[in-house]
Chains A and B, each alone.
Chain A
């Protein structure tokens, strides 16, 4: 009846949309959760199918014209290796965090509104997936607002545990809206000068109309898009909203956000800078490399130092996320194959590690009701599996060999060395790893080498939490040992973005 293969790009967004809305009708108890899990599972399966389709396609991309309007007039979905990869990450992490969410949501969210909570949850995923598939500039803005609005609500749901969640959410709302408005403005400037909204069409226009790239309008559009996107992806020094938001959000939400939301922001930056403006404009004509690399390195170092000083572990991981994001930005600011490939693969690797680590912290919160550095003392023996997951994730952040973090940092360092005069950045990468050693070690020391405050017996986390946690951490080890798949995809994506031949 319905040819799923032909409609994959649209199904991947509309299924969570329709099913997310239906979630409010699922009543209470375990049903909303089961429904959300089924939906996100289906989406993950669709993302896998789409990945296969993209890899098998001779053009290296799949295009879908919504409503059967020509892409220049209507809205187009365009999926290439990069989107398919990010889609797979978002869908996969979304699926696993949904499984994980059951226990922590039961504990942290009032029972009479679980259906609404999961509705918002699934819609947040829908927004993130939508941003990733679309090939239309304005569609990006609308979907960005869906994902942002849902995320504001999800973060604020931590209000019953700590009132800081409310201010965190409101601050994110205001900064996020300003950022989104800048993006809207950038799109408006581009539309004014190109007359179209389709990304591909815009690019062709920018490339073909003489003198257009030198116009002040395009320059300002670029600047505002850059600032807006930096706010959305929490690039240092515009990261102010992130640490609080991640700290006070409910555990499951922190895990979801850390692994997906900023990654999609980075993806948008890829699309705008590489696909619309093109490498020649973004990185050769403009001093973007310099600006982004400076911000990113400063971010890696400053947040690394800040993370060491934190006692709240969630906040520590939040700062570490800003730092890790610095690596991702550093990679693509180099605009060479190794750098961009490192950036793309670090999106996956960081999502796996940070997702797993936030899940581990969530499990600790589930058992102990807190997650400061004191509370993990002696937990290495009491919750061995959870703490082991946290430790392995931490090793990944450091970039220890045989973890996924090593692979992406390898690419990054190579990328830095490939670019003339950029070798000091390799030093930044290594220094950042050193800082990661320090803040991870603090936790490891407390967990394994210090005595607990009290002899209160603590149970290991429930299976529904351990399973997704270890799936993520396991995947990060797997991709650390066998990097063929990630390496191939990220190099393909990097070459496609840079317009270098295969």
Chain B
């Protein structure tokens, strides 16, 4: 029982991450993808914070000051992963903000935020570019033929 629970945190983080990853891959809605990316990253945060826990530990803040002396009531949880994750949370919200800005721009110029529709429109853009070139090529050929 203890063994299973001892590693449970590490498993649940994998589950959370994979739920996020599934959303990123499988959901065609761009906002859903952005949200799922957030879930995916939170999974990693859970892993890091789980790493910091120590049996019977408390928050790594040296508690009260008594008679001018700080009192230590360790063991304390490891503060290093907390620091790293603070940084990572900031990064993830920055990424989210930029993603949302891009999505708004996409909505402005495509009129939709569904990846498959956008993909189709992009494809049409490229196809029309390609066809225009082809038509010009054909015209050139005809002209060359005419001259000959």
Direct contact of A and B (CB under 8 A): yes
Interface residues of A (CB under 8 A from B): 138, 141-142, 145, 149, 152-153, 156, 159, 162-164, 166-167, 169-170, 173-174, 177-178, 181, 184-185, 188, 191-192, 197, 311-312, 372-374, 453
Asked if A170 contacts B37 (CB within 8 A), the reply is: no
Alpha-carbon gap, A164 to B123, bound state (A)? 10
Asked if A166 contacts B106 (CB within 8 A), the reply is: yes
Asked if A374 contacts B95 (CB within 8 A), the reply is: no
Total inter-chain residue pairs, C-beta < 8 Å? 84
Q: Interface code B97-132, partner A: CB below 8 Å = 1, 0 otherwise?
A: 011001101100110000000110010011001100
Asked if B102 contacts A188 (CB within 8 A), the reply is: no
Alpha-carbon gap, A173 to B95, bound state (A)? 8
Asked if A312 contacts B37 (CB within 8 A), the reply is: no
Q: Interface code B23-49, partner A: CB below 8 Å = 1, 0 otherwise?
A: 010000010011001001100100110
- Name the residue on A nearest B78 (C-beta): A195
Alpha-carbon gap, A159 to B101, bound state (A)? 12
Instruction: Tell me whether B136 is interfacial, beta carbon within 8 Å.
Output: yes
Alpha-carbon gap, A185 to B13, bound state (A)? 11
Asked if B84 contacts A138 (CB within 8 A), the reply is: yes
Which residue of B48, B80, B122, B136 is within 8 Å of A374 (Cβ)?
A: B136
Asked if A181 contacts B40 (CB within 8 A), the reply is: yes
Interface residues of B (CB under 8 A from A): 21, 24, 30, 33-34, 37, 40-41, 44, 47-48, 51, 80-81, 84, 87-88, 91, 94-95, 98-99, 102-103, 105-106, 109-110, 118-119, 122, 125-126, 129-130, 133, 136-137
- Interface secondary structure of A, over-half rule: helix
Alpha-carbon gap, A162 to B130, bound state (A)? 15
- Name the residue on A nearest B102 (C-beta): A170
In the complex with contacts A152-B98, A169-B102, A174-B109 CB distance below 8 A: no
Alpha-carbon gap, A164 to B48, bound state (A)? 37
Asked if A152 contacts B102 (CB within 8 A), the reply is: yes
Question: Which of A149, A153, A181 neighbours the largest number of chain B CB atoms within 10 Å of its CB?
Answer: A181
Alpha-carbon gap, A372 to B137, bound state (A)? 13
Asked if A153 contacts B125 (CB within 8 A), the reply is: no
Asked if B95 contacts A177 (CB within 8 A), the reply is: yes
Residues in B with CB closer than 8 Å to A181 are: 40-41, 44
Asked if A374 contacts B98 (CB within 8 A), the reply is: no
Residues in B with CB closer than 8 Å to A145 are: 91, 94-95
